Amino acid sequence: MEKNEFAEWSRRAADWGVDYRAGLNEQPVRARTTPGDIARQIAAAPPLSGESMEMIFADFENIVMPGMTHWQHPRFFAYFPANAAPVSVIAEYLVSAIAAQCMLWQTSPAATELETKVLDWLRQAIGLPEGFCGVIQDSASSATLAAVLTMRERALSWNGNKAGLAANPAVRVYASTQVHTSIDRAIWVSGIGEQNLVRIPSSGPLKSMDVAALEAAILADKSAGLLPAGVIACTGGTSIGACDNIAEVARVARAHGLYVHVDAAWAGSAMICEEFRPLWAGVEQADSVVFNPHKWLGAQFDCSAHFIRNPTDLVKTLAIQPEYLKTHGRDGIVNYSEWSVPLGRRFRALKLWFLLRYHGLEGLRAVIRNHVRWSQGLAERLRKEPGFEIVTEPVLSLFSFRHTGSADRDGHNIALVNAINEDGRIYLTQTRVDGAIAIRFQAGSFEMTEADIGIAFEAITEIARRLSKPD
């Protein structure tokens, strides 16, 4: 591509992005295509000759965009958000243009040193004490895998990577029934095995891990000749926002010499607001903590903040240093590829730096506090509406509800969430609570306003009434 063409299409792409964001309010939140609609419009074989940017861009608009769900839509209330604040998008333009591979200090010193500083900003912002060091991972799944590998190696006296798991006693890891499935995957990938992930019951308003049951499970495993390695606690579990009592979990883990990892992928962003920190009281006792600025803080995906009390253990678990990756003549530098499973690393710190400087902590706190207040207000409105029940109380901006308009409770609520999503005004998902279907609502879109909550209430109640009418 020639310089002038690159300049023209860079401008057009940026202008398109601005117009796209400006018009999101008018779009249905979820794609309205059926399986295969997009694939049928794409050529079966790659082109032999290059095509014009005009043709490529037209196909992007006419083929690709109709099949996109709009994650930046202000009424995206499904899953958790994957926000990309505009200032973060601008930073990503620059990262894409620079296109650096930031695996080592020497391959881009600014990327490494900015990451160190910005992660310390985040540490201060969420109230973690000095002594925790941070690294940006691609996702909480990768951070949790790194934590599981570290707890495995510590328990095996650093012999797992060398001798393999078959040469060692079975390693046991403990987590509640409310943790994210990324924990299961980390257990698989680490070689520990699904049968050695011990599920601890959860109970109470926050569905917290039963600490007495945790201790009993650890003692039973020790008696059976198994090797307890670590505990994974959660703050703001994906299904309904479950929060473990981290102080008590850490107390039990410490008594048995176990590693503690805290998964706060969604809720960790809210800890920039001091009033929400009781949800993870005791987090300073953890060995590692992860949360995703790419969820609620507005940093474009991918950007996961992984804090570690003792980075030496992490590096000892993951680092491999062939001669071609060594930096000679520079003592005391950090190579963050040694803190991650992948060798390759993007320049993720730049968007965090732009984001935190542009909005400031007070600006970001205002966004999160509004989301919490608006979501809790919607829960109260639905509670008072005939035919609705609040299944789980709001945890930050997440709650679940159910409509009681049919004897087939599960079938009716699945039909309701599907009808709401087909309507297009909002997007929701379902979950199961104590075995029964409930509908999740989570406010977190960076661009949403209080008016969007009003639209959500209207869509939910109108469609529920329509489905409940006799034929």
Domains in the chain with CATH codes: 101-346 (3.40.640.10)
SS3 77: coil
Token pair 């609570």 in the structure block, residue: 433
Nearest-angstrom CA–CA distance, 136 and 56: 34
Find where tokens 């901006």 sit.
397
Tell me if 349 sits within 8 A of 114, measured CB to CB.
yes
* 291 DSSP β-pair partners: 305
Cβ of 328: how many Cβ atoms within 10 Å?
Answer: 7
Q: How far apart are the first and last CA of the chain?
A: 61
- Which pair of structure tokens corresponds to residue 170? 């079975």
Q: What is the pLDDT of residue 336?
A: 85
Per-residue pLDDT tens digits of the chain, which is 471 residues long: 888 988 998 999 999 999 999 999 889 998 888 899 999 999 889 898 898 999 999 999 999 999 999 988 899 889 888 888 999 999 999 888 887 887 887 778 888 989 999 999 999 999 999 999 999 999 988 999 999 999 999 999 888 888 888 878 899 999 998 888 888 899 998 889 899 999 999 988 889 999 999 999 999 999 999 999 999 999 999 888 899 999 999 999 999 999 999 999 999 999 999 999 999 999 999 999 999 999 999 998 989 999 999 988 998 898 876 544 455 345 567 888 888 888 888 889 999 999 999 999 999 999 999 999 999 999 999 999 999 999 999 999 999 999 997 778 999 999 999 999 999 999 999 999 988 999 999 999 998 999 999 999 999 999 999 988 765
pLDDT at 324: 42
Structure-block tokens of residue 386? 């005939």
Residues 44/74, Cβ–Cβ less than 8 Å: no
Confirm if 402 and 387 have CB atoms less than 8 A apart.
no
C-alpha radius of gyration, the chain, whole number: 24
SS3 439: strand
Query: What are the angstrom distances between the C-alpha of 398 and each of 234, 362, 430, 432, 440?
Result: 15, 22, 12, 14, 7
Q: Which two tokens stand for residue 428?
A: 């929701």
Q: Hey, which residues does 199 pair with through a beta bridge?
A: 175
Residue 124 to residue 299: CA distance in whole angstroms: 17
Sign of CA dihedral 321, 324, 330, 333: negative
> Which pLDDT does position 470 carry in this prediction?
62
Q: At 243, phi and psi to the nearest 5?
A: -130, 120
Residues in Cβ contact with 121 at an 8 Å cutoff, skipping those fewer than 6 apart:
352, 356
Report the alpha-carbon distance of residue 90 to residue 210 in Å, rounded.
45
pTM beyond cutoff 0.85: yes
CB within 8 A of 296, min separation 6: which ones?
Answer: 80, 81, 83, 266, 269, 270, 368, 371, 444
**Closest C-alpha to 262, from 235, 243, 282:** 235
Buried b (16+ CB within 10 A) or exposed e, 158-167: eebeeeebee
